[in-house]
C-alpha cells in the first residue's frame, strides 16, 4: 500500500474515539448489519502456488495473499510461569531475585496441513484488541484513498457476529490456578472468534500476532517454522576479500526484518515491501549461539553457516532464549539432512529410487531438454560455461523456430514461467565465447528472464578460474547434469558426421511478417530442385522479407508432407495436417537422418565448427558461416549427460540457488528487486512429480560438486567429485571405463595435486599382486581443444595441455605407465588402454579425416556405478577451489544379467546400458553385428576386439591420411618429413577408399610417443608462459 497511515496516526484516531481500554471485549469488534462482509476477500485455495514467492507485497497491503481456504484455529496448550532468576544480559539491583514474571500463553495454531506454536502474554492480546478497534473505527471513515476504498468495499454486506463478552483479566501476573485456567479459556475463545472474521484475520496486526506472513503456507516450502519481527545486524557475509574491515560496532547497522525459518533455510523480509532481502541455506556449519560474547549484543542470537554469521536482536532475554531454542529444535527435527557432511564430503545426501537417465551425445539430450522446458510451470534454472541462444534443440529443423532455444525460453516466459540464467563471465582477452552477447540476447526476450554473469575478474580477483558446470533445472524437480552446454558445436549423434553441406543454394529468404523466421534462421524451405531433395535449409545474412504469412504456412506444411513421403513423420488425415500447420504441432519427428539423403542441414551458421582449425568469431551473427563447409570438415563432438528427478533434482536446484543468491550479494548491479532471491523447495514435497522425462531407470543417486568461497560463497571448499572418483576407482572390482576431455593427474604435490591417476596405478598394481583380471579403458581427445595448426606443432596452448596429459599417461616418473613399469614391468599393457576417436568422410569428392572431440566427463565401474558431470580429470575441475563443477554419481538398484570375464554377472541396468551404448558407438558394433561388446574384461574382448580395433583403425588412418598426432613424429623437426610423404588419399584415392572400408567404429590408439623428444611447456617469452602453470593443470 502506497499511502497507509502510520500506526501513530492510527493511535491518534483511537485516542480521539475511545478512552484507554478497560476490557478485552470482542463485541466491540462486531460489525454493524449491512456494513461489512465477512467472506474472505481473496479466493483462497487449498494450496498456495509456489509462484506466490514472486508476488510478495507489503505486509500492510490489503492484497497480501496469506491464507488457505481452511479455517485457522487456536488452542492454548499451557501457561508458562517464570521467576526472575539472575539474567546474564540484564543484571539489575532493583529487582528481587524471585519476582514473578508475566504469564506466557503457549498457543498451538492450526491451518490446513500446517501446525505451529505461538507464545503471547496477556498484554499482547490487549494491544491487538486495541489496534483492531482502531482499525474498525478507521474503516468507517470514508477516506479519499484507493487502498482504503478497496478495503471498505471488500468489507461490505455482512451479518452481525455476536461474540461473548470477555471480562477484564487480572493483569499480567495471574496468581491462582483457577484464575489461570478460566483466563486461558477466555483468551482462546476470543482468538478463535477473531480468526473467523476475515476482515480482522486479514489485518496485518492479527497476522503478526499469530506469526504468519505470505510465505507461511506455501506447500512447496515445507512445514511452517518460526516467524516474527526481529532486528538484524548488517554484515557477517563470507565474501572473499570483502569482509568487514573490523569488528567494531561502527561497521554495523541494525534493521527491522521479518524472519521466516523453514526446514532447509531461513530468510528475512522487508515488512514495507514484502521483498525477501536475504536467504541462508542450512549446512554443516549451522549453529546457534546465544551467549553475549558470541553475539556482541544484548538479547542476541547468532546463526552461523558456511556463508554467513547472522546476528539477530530480540526484545528480551526470554524472547531470545525461546527463539534460539525453537530455531535449533525445528531445524534439527526437519532439516537434519542438511546439517552434516555426506559421503565424499558432499553437501547432498544419497537419495534412493530416483528416476534417472543417461545421454550419449547431444541429439537425444537436447530433445529431452526441449520437451522438459516445454513442461515448465514455475521456474527454469540454467547455468552453462557457454550458452548460445540461437541453437536448435531438435534437428533437422522442421517446425520453423519452434525448438530454437531463445524461442522456447521466450514462449515459457510469456506463459509466466520465471527463468534464471547464470553465465560464466570470461576473461575476454583469453576466450571468445562472448557471454555478454548471450546475456543481452536473452534479456531482450522478456522481463521474466533474468541473467547474471560471474565472476567480475577485477573486484573478485578471480582471473584464472571458471564456472564450468552445465545444469538445467525445471521447477526444482527435473535436473539435467552433465558435460553438454547449450552452445554451438555440441549437437551431435552417434554418426559423428564430418560434413554438412546440404543442397546449399544461396537463396535469400528471411522472415515472414509474423516474426517466425523462415529459412535464414534455420527453418526449412522447399528444395526447388530435382525432386530427390527433401528440403533445403539456407543460411544467409541480409535477406529480404517475405510478404504475408501464407507462403510460410504452405512451406511448413509441405515439409511435413515431404517428410512423410520419406517415412520420417506419421501420415495423418489431411484435416489434421492442416491443423498441424496452423498450430505448430509438436509432432515428435523421428530424425533418423540417414533417410534424409544428405540434403538437409543440421548445423547452421556458427554451429558448423572446427575449433582446432579456427576458433569462433563474430558470435553476434549466429547464422553466418565462419568456416567454409565445402573445404573444411566439422569437428564432431562426443559427449555425455544425464537427468535426475525428485530429491536429487532438489539438490541440484539448491546448488544453483546458493550460487545465484551469492552472486546477487556480491554484484551490486543485481541487488535490485527485479533480481529476486531464490528459495529452495522442500525435500518433503519432492515426490510430487508433475513431469518425468520418459525412459528413466530408478537408481541410487548423489549430487557432487566442486565449490569454494569465490564460486559459491562458502567458508570451506568442497571437492566431492574428486573424492568420489578416487573412491570408485579404488573399490572397483573388475574394470573402470573413463571418457574425459582431459587426463591430467598423478600428484607430485608441486604442479599437480589430484590423485585419480595414482588411484588407477595403485588399483592395477593391486590386481596384478592378487593375480586378478582388471582393465582400465581411457578415451580422451587426440588433441586438446585449442585453435592451432598441428602440422606446425600446434602452438603453445595445445602443447602445454599435451605436456600435462602425457605427463599423466607415460612421461616422467609420476605418470601411470612409469609407475606400472616400475612395479609390474611390461605386463601393464594387459591392464590399461588409452585411446582417442577419429572418423573420415568425403567432402566435395575429396577424402577427409578429423579427430572426434571427446568432451565427456564420465566414469563407469563394474557395470554398476557411474559418475557423469562437468568435471574434467584435471586440477582445475577436481580440487574444488578452482573451477566450479557439478556431477552425479548413480549406483544401480535394479540389476540385469550381464557377462563379466565369461561368467554370468548381475550388472546394474543403468550402468550396463550406458557402457554398451558407448562401446557400440566407438567400436562400430551398431553397423557390424559380429562385434560383441557384452563382456568388458575377457581376454577375447580386450585383445581381439578393443586393442585390435584401436591398432587397426590407427594404422589405416596413418596410411591413408598421414594423420597427426602420430607416434612416428617424436619432435617438431620430424614433422616436415612425415607430412612430406603423401598418404593414399592423394596417391590412390580408390585404394584409399578400399582401405577405409576396413575401419570399424571410431576408436584409435592414442599416439603415446608423439613429440616425446620435445619440451612441450610454453617457451619463455610466449604469452602462454606468462600465465601461472595451474591454468593448464
d(CA 169, CA 129): 13
d(CA 217, CA 648): 24
* Given the residues 857, 863, 909, 935, the one annotated as active site: 857
Classify residue 553 as left (phi > 0), alpha (psi -120 to 50) or beta: alpha
User: Does residue 123 carry a catalytic annotation?
Assistant: no
In a 13 Å sphere around the CA of 707, the CA atoms on its Cβ side amount to: 23
* Given the residues 855, 863, 909, 985, the one annotated as active site: 855
On whether the CB atoms of residues 320 and 301 are closer than 8 A, the answer is yes
On whether the CB atoms of residues 652 and 481 are closer than 8 A, the answer is yes
d(CA 523, CA 529): 18
* Given the residues 475, 625, 651, 875, the one annotated as active site: 475
Cross-strand bridge partners of residue 301: 312
d(CA 676, CA 278): 10
* Given the residues 111, 425, 470, 638, the one annotated as active site: 470
Q: Phi/psi at 645 (nearest 5 deg)? A: -130, 180
C-alpha grid cell, residue 698: 530408478
d(CA 95, CA 91): 9
Give the contacts of 813 (CB within 8 A, at least 6 positions apart).
Answer: none
DSSP string, 335-356: -GGGSS--GGG-SS--EEEEEE
In a 13 Å sphere around the CA of 584, the CA atoms on its Cβ side amount to: 11
User: Does residue 862 carry a catalytic annotation?
Assistant: yes
Strands (E), 741-852: 775-779, 832-843, 846-851
User: Does residue 470 carry a catalytic annotation?
Assistant: yes
Question: Sheet containing 254-261: which strands, arranged edge to edge?
Answer: 276-281, 265-269, 254-261, 227-233, 309-313, 300-304, 287-289
Give the other-Cβ count within 10 Å of 334's Cβ: 20
Rg of the Cα trace of the chain? 34
* Given the residues 61, 406, 607, 862, the one annotated as active site: 862
Q: Phi/psi at 599 (nearest 5 deg)? A: -100, 0
Strands (E), 697-771: 697-707, 718-719, 735-740
Q: How far is CA 831 from CA 225, 773, 781, 827, 918, in A?
A: 56, 8, 20, 8, 20
d(CA 320, CA 333): 20
User: Does residue 855 carry a catalytic annotation?
Assistant: yes
* Given the residues 363, 468, 645, 722, the one annotated as active site: 468
Q: How far is CA 222 from CA 28, 30, 105, 279, 660, in A?
A: 38, 36, 26, 16, 21
What residues are labeled active site? 468, 470, 475, 855, 857, 862
Amino acid at each position: 500500500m502506497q499511502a497507509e497511515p502510520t500506526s501513530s496516526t492510527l493511535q491518534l484516531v483511537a485516542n480521539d474515539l475511545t478512552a484507554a481500554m478497560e476490557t478485552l471485549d470482542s463485541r466491540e469488534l462486531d460489525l454493524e448489519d449491512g456494513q461489512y462482509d465477512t467472506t474472505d476477500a481473496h479466493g483462497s485455495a487449498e494450496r498456495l502456488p509456489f509462484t506466490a514467492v514472486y508476488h510478495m507485497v507489503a505486509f500492510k497491503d490489503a492484497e497480501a495473499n496469506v491464507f488457505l481456504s481452511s479455517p485457522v484455529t487456536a488452542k492454548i496448550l499451557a501457561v508458562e510461569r517464570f521467576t526472575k532468576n539472575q539474567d546474564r544480559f540484564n543484571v539489575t539491583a532493583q529487582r528481587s531475585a524471585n519476582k514473578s514474571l508475566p504469564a506466557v500463553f503457549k498457543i498451538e495454531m492450526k491451518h490446513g496441513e500446517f501446525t505451529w506454536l505461538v507464545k503471547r502474554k496477556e498484554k499482547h492480546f490487549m494491544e491487538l484488541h486495541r489496534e483492531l478497534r482502531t482499525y474498525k473505527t478507521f474503516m468507517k471513515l470514508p477516506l479519499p484513498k484507493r487502498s482504503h476504498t478497496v478495503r471498505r468495499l471488500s468489507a461490505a454486506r455482512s451479518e452481525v457476529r455476536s461474540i461473548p463478552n470477555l471480562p477484564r483479566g487480572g493483569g499480567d501476573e495471574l496468581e491462582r490456578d483457577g484464575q489461570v485456567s478460566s483466563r486461558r479459556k477466555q483468551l482462546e475463545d476470543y482468538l478463535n472468534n477473531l480468526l473467523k472474521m476475515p476482515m480482522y484475520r486479514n489485518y496485518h496486526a492479527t497476522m503478526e500476532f499469530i506469526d504468519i506472513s505470505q510465505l507461511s503456507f506455501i506447500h512447496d516450502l515445507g512445514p511452517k517454522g518460526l516467524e516474527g519481527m526481529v532486528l538484524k545486524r548488517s554484515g557477517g557475509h563470507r565474501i572473499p576479500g570483502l569482509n568487514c574491515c573490523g569488528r567494531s560496532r561502527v561497521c554495523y547497522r541494525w534493521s527491522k526484518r521479518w524472519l521466516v525459518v523453514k526446514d532447509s533455510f531461513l530468510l528475512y523480509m522487508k515488512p514495507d515491501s514484502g521483498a525477501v532481502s536475504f536467504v541462508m541455506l542450512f549446512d554443516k556449519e549451522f549453529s546457534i549461539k546465544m551467549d553475549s560474547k558470541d553475539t556482541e549484543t544484548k538479547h542476541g542470537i547468532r546463526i552461523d553457516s558456511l556463508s554467513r554469521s547472522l546476528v539477530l536482536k530480540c526484545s528480551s532475554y526470554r524472547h531470545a532464549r525461546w527463539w534460539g531454542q525453537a530455531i535449533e529444535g525445528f531445524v534439527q527435527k526437519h532439516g537434519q539432512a542438511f546439517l552434516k557432511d555426506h559421503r565424499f564430503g558432499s553437501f547432498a545426501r544419497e537419495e534412493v529410487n530416483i528416476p534417472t537417465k543417461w545421454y550419449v551425445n547431444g541429439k537425444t539430450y537436447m530433445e529431452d531438454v526441449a520437451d522438459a522446458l516445454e513442461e515448465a510451470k514455475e521456474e527454469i534454472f540454467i547455468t552453462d560455461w557457454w550458452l548460445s541462444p540461437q541453437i536448435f534443440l531438435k534437428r533437422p529443423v522442421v517446425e520453423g523456430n519452434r525448438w530454437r532455444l531463445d524461442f522456447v525460453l521466450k514462449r515459457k516466459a510469456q506463459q509466466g514461467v520465471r527463468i534464471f540464467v547464470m553465465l560464466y563471465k570470461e576473461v575476454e582477452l583469453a576466450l571468445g565465447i562472448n557471454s555478454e552477447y548471450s546475456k543481452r540476447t536473452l534479456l531482450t526476450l522478456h522481463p521474466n528472464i533474468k541473467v547474471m554473469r560471474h565472476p567480475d575478474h577485477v573486484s573478485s580477483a578471480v582471473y584464472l578460474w571458471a564456472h564450468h558446470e552445465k545444469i538445467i533445472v525445471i521447477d526444482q524437480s527435473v535436473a539435467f547434469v552433465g558435460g553438454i552446454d547449450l552452445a554451438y558445436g555440441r549437437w551431435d549423434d552417434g554418426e559423428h558426421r564430418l560434413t554438412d553441406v546440404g543442397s546449399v543454394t544461396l537463396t535469400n529468404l528471411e522472415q515472414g511478417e509474423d516474426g517466425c523466421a523462415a529459412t535464414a534462421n534455420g527453418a526449412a524451405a522447399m528444395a526447388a530442385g530435382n525432386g530427390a531433395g527433401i528440403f533445403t535449409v539456407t543460411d544467409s545474412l541480409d535477406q529480404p522479407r517475405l510478404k504475408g504469412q501464407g507462403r510460410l504456412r504452405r512451406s511448413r506444411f509441405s515439409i511435413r508432407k515431404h517428410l512423410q513421403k520419406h517415412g520420417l513423420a506419421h501420415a495423418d488425415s489431411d484435416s489434421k495436417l492442416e491443423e498441424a500447420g496452423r498450430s505448430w504441432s509438436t509432432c515428435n519427428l523421428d530424425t533418423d537422418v540417414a533417410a534424409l539423403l544428405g540434403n538437409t542441414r543440421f548445423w547452421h551458421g556458427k554451429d558448423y565448427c572446427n575449433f582446432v582449425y579456427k576458433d569462433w568469431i563474430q558470435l553476434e551473427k549466429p547464422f553466418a558461416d565462419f568456416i567454409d563447409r565445402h573445404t573444411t570438415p566439422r569437428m564432431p563432438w562426443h559427449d555425455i549427460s544425464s537427468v535426475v528427478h525428485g530429491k536429487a533434482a532438489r539438490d541440484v536446484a539448491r546448488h544453483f540457488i546458493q550460487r545465484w543468491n551469492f552472486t546477487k550479494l556480491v554484484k551490486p548491479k543485481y541487488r535490485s528487486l527485479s533480481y529476486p532471491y531464490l528459495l529452495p523447495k522442500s525435500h518433503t514435497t519432492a515426490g510430487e512429480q508433475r513431469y518425468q522425462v520418459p525412459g528413466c531407470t530408478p537408481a541410487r543417486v548423489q549430487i557432487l560438486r566442486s565449490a569454494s568461497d569465490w564460486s559459491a560463497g562458502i567458508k570451506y571448499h568442497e571437492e566431492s567429485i574428486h573424492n568420489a572418483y578416487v573412491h570408485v576407482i579404488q573399490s572397483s572390482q573388475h574394470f573402470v571405463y573413463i571418457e574425459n576431455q582431459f587426463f591430467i593427474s598423478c600428484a607430485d604435490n608441486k604442479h599437480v595435486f589430484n590423485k585419480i591417476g595414482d588411484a588407477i596405478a595403485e588399483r592395477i598394481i593391486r590386481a596384478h599382486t592378487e593375480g586378478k583380471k582388471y582393465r582400465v579403458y581411457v578415451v580422451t581427445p587426440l588433441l586438446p581443444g585449442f585453435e592451432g595448426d598441428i602440422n606446425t606443432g600446434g602452438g603453445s596452448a595445445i602443447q602445454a595441455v599435451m605436456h600435462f596429459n602425457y605427463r599423466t599417461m607415460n612421461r616422467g616418473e609420476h605418470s601411470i605407465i612409469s609407475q606400472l613399469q616400475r612395479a609390474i614391468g611390461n605386463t601393464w599393457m594387459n591392464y590399461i588402454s588409452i585411446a582417442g576417436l577419429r572418423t573420415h568422410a568425403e567432402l566435395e569428392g575429396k577424402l577427409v579425416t578429423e579427430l572426434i572431440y571427446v568432451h565427456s566427463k564420465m566414469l563407469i565401474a563394474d557395470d554398476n556405478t557411474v559418475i557423469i558431470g562437468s568435471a574434467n580429470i584435471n586440477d582445475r575441475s577436481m580440487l574444488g577451489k578452482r573451477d566450479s563443477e557439478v556431477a552425479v554419481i548413480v549406483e544401480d538398484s535394479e540389476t540385469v544379467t550381464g557377462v563379466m570375464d565369461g561368467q554370468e554377472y548381475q550388472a546394474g541396468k543403468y550402468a550396463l546400458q550406458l557402457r554398451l551404448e558407448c562401446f557400440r558407438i566407438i567400436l562400430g558394433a551398431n553397423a557390424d553385428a559380429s562385434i560383441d561388446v557384452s563382456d568388458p574384461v575377457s581376454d577375447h574382448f580386450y585383445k581381439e576386439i578393443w586393442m585390435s580395433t584401436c591398432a587397426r583403425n590407427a594404422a589405416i588412418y596413418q596410411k591413408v591420411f598421414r594423420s597427426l598426432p602420430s607416434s612416428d613424429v617424436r619432435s617438431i623437426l620430424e614433422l616436415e618429413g612425415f607430412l612430406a610423404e603423401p598418404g593414399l588419399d592423394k596417391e590412390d584415392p580408390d585404394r584409399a577408399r578400399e582401405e577405409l572400408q576396413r575401419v570399424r567404429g571410431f576408436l584409435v590408439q592414442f599416439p603415446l610417443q608423439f613429440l616425446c623428444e620435445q619440451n612441450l611447456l610454453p617457451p619463455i617469452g610466449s604469452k602462454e608462459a606468462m600465465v601461472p602453470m595451474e591454468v593448464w593443470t
